[in-house]
Chains A and B, each alone.
Chain A
Amino acid sequence: MKRKQLKFVVGSVVIILTLAYLAYSGFKEGNAYYQTVSELYATRDQAYTRRLKVAGDVVPGSIQHDGKIINFVISQQNDKTKNVETLQVKYVGSDAPPDTFVDRAQAVVEGQLGHDGIFVANKMQAKCASKYEKESAAGIRKSD
C-alpha cells in the first residue's frame, strides 16, 4: 500500500475508533433494561441493581399527587399465567408528567426498583395508544 493511502486509512481508523469509544461510554451512561411488569418480577434478583424501563397501563384512580411526587400503579397481564400483575410507582422526576399521563394510559417509567417493591422513577413517558389506534383497529365504539 502506498504511503498516501496509508494516511487515509490511519485517519479513518482513528476517527472510527474514537467514535466507537464515545458510543461505548455513552451507552454505559444511559442504558436501561426495557421490561414489562411480569418480566420485571421474573428477573427480580437482578432487578434491584439495574436501571430499568418498565411499561404498563396506569390503573384507573391510582394516580395520587403528593407535591411534586406522583404515586401510581401500573398493571399488565402476564402472557403465560393470565394474571394481572401490578407495580407501585413513585415518580420523583424533575419534569412534569406528559399530558398523555392519565388513567389507563400506557406509561413507560424509567428508574430503579427499591427493595420495598416500590419502583422509583425519575423519567416517564406516556401515550394513549388505546384511544387513537387500538379502538380504530377494533371498530369505533358506539358514541352516545
Chain B
Amino acid sequence: MAQIGQFALALALVVTAYSIIASLLGIRLKHDNLIASGRNAALGACLCITTAMGCLGYLFAVSDFSIKYIAAHSNRDLPMYFKVSSIWGGQEGSLLFWGWLLTIYSALVIIQNWRKHSAMMPYVVAVLMFTSLFFTWMHLFIVNPFNQTVILQSAASPLPFVPRDGNGLNPLLQDAYMVIHPPMLYLGFVGFAVPFAFAMAAMITKQLGDTWIRTTRRWTMVAWMFLSIGILLGGKWAYHELGWGGFWAWDPVENASLMPWLIGTAFLHSVMVQEKKGMLKVWNMVLIILTFIMSLFGTLLTRSGMVQSVHAFAQSPVGGYFRAFIVVALSAALYLLFDRLPYLKSENQMESIVSRESSFMFNNLILLAACFAVFWGTMFPIISEAVTGSKITVGPPFFNKVNVPIAVFLMFLTGVGPLLAWRRASTDSLKRNFLWPAVIALACGVVLYFRGVQHFYAWLAMVMSIFVTGTIIHEFYRGAAARSSGTGETFIEAVVNLTLRNTRRYGGYIVHFGFVLLFIGLAGQAFTTDAEGDLGIGDKLAIREYTLRMDKLGIEDTPNYASDKATLSLFEYGKKVANLYPEKRLYKAGGEQQPTTEVSIYSTAKNDIYVVFQGGTRDGKKAIVQVFYNPLVMWVWIGGIVLVLGTLIALLPNKKAILRRRPEIESKEERKEIETKIS
C-alpha cells in the first residue's frame, strides 16, 4: 500500500508539472487539444493525490507501523475514527491533506467553469497547479508520509523489526472537535487559492472587469465560511480541552488562522464596491493576493515552529521551502499587479464620507489594520531579534488593546454600512434608518449600566450589538411589510420570500446577526470570575449564585487511558441543576504517560460553569477543584451557527435568477466589458 502511495505521489508530480506546461504552451501555440490535455492532467493529479490519501488512510486503519508517520501518530488501541483523523495529526499528513484539498478544489473549479470562461481557465489551471506542484514536491521529497520507520540499530535487536505498537496520537488531539477542526480550517485556507487563481488569470488575460469577482464570489464565501467554522471549532476545542477556562489566547497558531480570515473578510466586502461602482479595483487585487499569501503564511506558522507557541510543532525543514514559495508567489502576483495597473483604473470617486462606499472603505482599512496588528504582534519576537538582538514578546494586552476597539468600530459599521445609500446618504434617510435602533440601544445601555455592566468596552460592545440587531430587524420588517402589503402574503411568508429573492443581501444580514451574537459572547468574557478549593467528600465550593458539592472521587480504567474522576453536584440558588464529572486522565500509549485534564461544563444561555479537576492534594484525600464562571459563552457558539446559516443562505441563487439563465447574462456582460475595453 505504501508503495502505491509513493507511486501515486510521484505520478502526481509529473502530471502536475505537465499540466502547467501543457496549459501555458497550449495558449501560446493556440492549440486547443494541448490546453484540454493540460486540463485533463489537472484532473488526473486530483486522482493521484486522492489515491495517495486513500493509501495513507488505509495504512492508518490497519495500523501498519512499518511506516514512520503512522508509528509516530497512532497506536493499536486508538478508536477507529481517531486512527483516520490521525492522517492530519502530524506534519506530513496535514500537508498531504492540504495538497489533496487543493487538487479537489481545482477539479471542481475546472468542472464548473471550463466552458463558461474558456479564455481564463487555462491560466487558472496553471496557477492552481503551480501551487499544487509545490505541495506535491514537498510530499514527495521533504515530508513524505510514506517513509519507512527508521530503526535505530542496537545490540538487543540487530535485525530490523517493525514496532509492535505506535507512539499514539497526542491525547489532546483525541477529541471530536480535533477530528473536524483541521479539515475545516484547511478547507478555508485552501479555498482562497481559487479566487486568487482567478484574480491572476484575470490580470494575465487583462479581463479585469468584475467577471473574475462574480465567478469566484461563491468560492470566496465557501472558503470564508469554512475558515470561520475552523477558527470557532479551534476555540471550542481549546475551551473544553485545555482547561484554562478560555477559548482564545492570541497564541501564534490562533493568529495564523485569524489573519487570512481578517483580510478575507475585507475582500468579501470590498468586492461589492467594485461590482456596484467599479471602484477599489487595485485594492481588491491586493486583498485577494494578501488573503492567499496569509493562508500560506498561516500554514507556514503552524507547520514550521518558526514562532514559539503552546502548540507542539516540530522545528522542521518545511519552513525554508514555504518561505521561498511565499516569496515567489507574492513577487509574481505583485509584479503582475504593477504591470496591469493601467487596466485597473477606478471608474468612480468617493463622494461623501457618509456613504456606502466610504463605510466599506473604513471597514477595509480597519480589518487590514487588525490583520497588520496581529501580524506584527505574532512576528515581533522575530522582528525585534533581527533589529535589537533580543527576542521580545508582546503578550495579550497588546492584541486586546488594538483589536477590541477595532471590533467595536467594526460592529458599528456592521450596523450602519449596509443601510447607507451609495454615493451619499441624506440626513432624512439617516434619521429614518437609524433613529429607532439608536434610541433603543441607548435606552438598553442605560439599563445595562445600572444592572452592573460597567466595563467600558463590554458595555459599548453590548450597546452596539443591540443597535445592529435593531437595524437588522428594521430592515427585515420594512422589506417584509412592503412585500406583504403588495402581494397579500402573511408576514412570515413575506420574510422568507424576501430572503430567497435577495439571498445575498438578507443572508448577509443574517451573517451580521450571527456576529452580533458572537460579539455578545465575547463581551461577556470581561466578567469572568473563578474560585478554587480542596474538596473532600461532602465539601462545598461557592461561586456567585452557584455551589459545587463533591459527591464522589473514583478511578476509571479503559484500554486507552486511566483516569481520576470526581463527581460533583451543582446547585443554583440552592437547587440542584446538574452533576459534573471533571477528570484527570493518564493516557497509556508511547511509554511516557501524559496527563490530560477533562473539564466538565454546565452551560446555559446566561453563563457557563466550567469545572477543572486539577489533581489530588498531597495526602491524596481531597481533590483540588477550580471553577470558572464564564458569562454568555454559549452565544459565541450560537453566533457561529447563525453565521454559517447566513452564509449558506447567501450562497443560494436568488429565486428569480433561476428563471433567467445565468450564463447568458454573464456572456452579455462580458461582451460589454470587452467592447468597452476596445473602445
Contact = CB atoms under 8 A, between A and B. Distances in A.
Contacts of A135: 72, 167
A108 B167 contact: no
A143 interface: yes
B243 A99 contact: yes
A131 B618 contact: no
B366 A34 contact: no
Which of under 10, 10 to 19, 20 to 34, or 35 or more describes the interface residues of B? Answer: 35 or more
A35 interface: yes
Contact of B362 (A15, A33, A108): A15
A99 B172 contact: yes
Interface stretch (A21-29, A76-84, A112-120): A21-29
A94 to B, nearest CB: 8
A16 B373 CA distance: 11
A30 B400 CA distance: 10
A139 B308 contact: no
Contacts of A8: 350, 353, 358, 361
B365 interface: yes
A23 B398 contact: yes
A32 B396 CA distance: 11
Contact of A136 (B72, B165, B614): B72
B344 to A, nearest CB: 19
Interface stretch (B187-195, B568-576, B586-594): B586-594
B406 interface: yes
Given A96-B612, A141-B591, A12 B402 contact: no
B426 interface: no
B124 interface: no
A136 B150 CA distance: 9
Nearest to B618: A65
Contact of B401 (A16, A25, A32, A131): A25
A33 B392 contact: yes
B313 A19 contact: no
A20 B342 CA distance: 33
Nearest to B242: A98
A125 B369 CA distance: 29
Interface string B61-95: 00001001101110000000000000000110000
A139 B373 CA distance: 40
B150 A30 contact: no
Interface in A90-144: 95-96, 98-100, 102, 108, 125, 127-129, 131-143
A53 to B, nearest CB: 6
Contacts of B165: 143
B392 A34 contact: yes
Contacts of B362: 11-12, 15
Contacts of A125: 310
B381 interface: yes
B392 A26 contact: no
B152 interface: yes
B358 A143 contact: no
B331 interface: no
Contacts of B65: 140
Given A22-B405, A99-B594, A33 B68 contact: no
B340 to A, nearest CB: 24
Given A5-B350, A34-B392, A53-B393, A143 B381 contact: no
Contacts of A138: 150, 152
Nearest to B241: A99
B265 interface: no
A25 to B, nearest CB: 6
B493 interface: no
Contacts of A29: 395, 397-398, 401
A29 B592 CA distance: 39
Interface in B358-411: 358, 361-362, 365-366, 369, 373, 376, 381, 390-402, 405-406
A7 B354 CA distance: 11
B314 A143 contact: no
Given A133-B312, A142-B157, A30 B149 contact: no
A96 B591 CA distance: 25
Contacts of B130: none
B88 to A, nearest CB: 14
Contacts of A98: 242-244, 310
A30 B397 contact: yes
B72 A12 contact: no
Name, among B362, B400, B405, B594, the residue most crowded by chain A CB atoms within 10 Å (CB to CB). Answer: B594
Contacts of B361: 8
B394 A140 contact: no
Contacts of A12: 362, 365
Contacts of B311: 127
A143 B152 CA distance: 12
Contact of B395 (A11, A32, A43, A95): A32
B33 interface: no
Given A19-B369, A127-B312, A136-B167, A99 B597 contact: yes
B398 A30 contact: yes
A23 B373 CA distance: 8
Contacts of A100: 172, 312, 594
Given A7-B353, A95-B244, A99-B594, A132 B398 contact: no
Given A26-B399, A102-B594, A136-B90, A31 B353 contact: no
B205 interface: no
B427 interface: no
B597 A128 contact: no
A22 B401 contact: yes
A74 interface: no
A73 interface: no
Given A4-B352, A15-B362, A31-B393, A26 B400 contact: yes
Interface in A28-63: 29-35, 43, 53, 55
A26 B72 contact: no
Contacts of B592: 102, 128, 131
Given A7-B353, A125-B310, A139 B150 contact: yes
Interface in B608-646: 612, 614-615, 618, 624, 626
B118 interface: no
Contacts of B394: 26-27, 30-31
Given A11-B362, A19-B406, A30-B396, A35 B390 contact: yes
14 contacts: A7-B353, A23-B401, A26-B394, A26-B399, A31-B392, A31-B393, A32-B395, A99-B594, A102-B595, A131-B167, A131-B592, A133-B313, A133-B314, A143-B164
Interface of B: 65, 68-69, 71-73, 90-91, 149-152, 154, 156-157, 163-165, 167, 170, 172, 242-244, 308, 310-314, 316, 350-353, 358, 361-362, 365-366, 369, 373, 376, 381, 390-402, 405-406, 590-592, 594-597, 612, 614-615, 618, 624, 626
Given A34-B392, A140-B163, 8 more contacts: A27-B398, A30-B398, A34-B393, A95-B244, A127-B311, A135-B167, A137-B314, A140-B151
